[in-house]
Amino acid sequence: MTEPQPYESALDAIPGAHPYPRSSRYHDAEIGIHTQPDGTPVRYVKRRLLPPLGVSPEDAETTHTVSSGERPDHLGQRYFGDPAAWWRIADANPVLDPRELTAEPGEEIEIPNGFPGSGPGGGMRGR
């Protein structure tokens, strides 16, 4: 019986190619290549630093009052049309654990304006 060959991505042939979709929090993270002692190159995502907290005019934010039972993925869907976009809201607030965003009903949290690549005022507010 023949051993199965390891899966190869088309990106493996492109040095430094990015494996994450545009909507991923890691899309803009730099890709590094580590060469193992046997010469095998291994791609990895370099450290992702959080953006500074605060509001710049082009990135104006709005606030959201947390309701009982809400979760970060609910907010990602509501404000960006993608439940996986919760990380944008977590980045805009001083939390270590995303569950802290919705832990306290009545708390106000910041919602960033737009989504990378969506153009001015992007996102899907009020859905």
pLDDT at 5: 47
Res. 109: pLDDT tops 50: yes
User: What's the CA angle centered on 52, arms 50 and 55, to 5 degrees?
Assistant: 130
Structure tokens at 117: 């690549």
pLDDT at 126: 36
Domains and CATH numbers, the chain: 62-111 (3.10.350)
Res. 49: pLDDT tops 50: yes
Which residue type occupies 116? P
pLDDT band at 50; cut points 50, 70, 90? low
Question: Is the whole model's pTM more than 0.95, yes or no?
Answer: no
Where on the phi/psi map is residue 42: left (φ > 0), alpha (ψ -120 to 50), or beta?
beta
Mean pLDDT of 74-89: 91
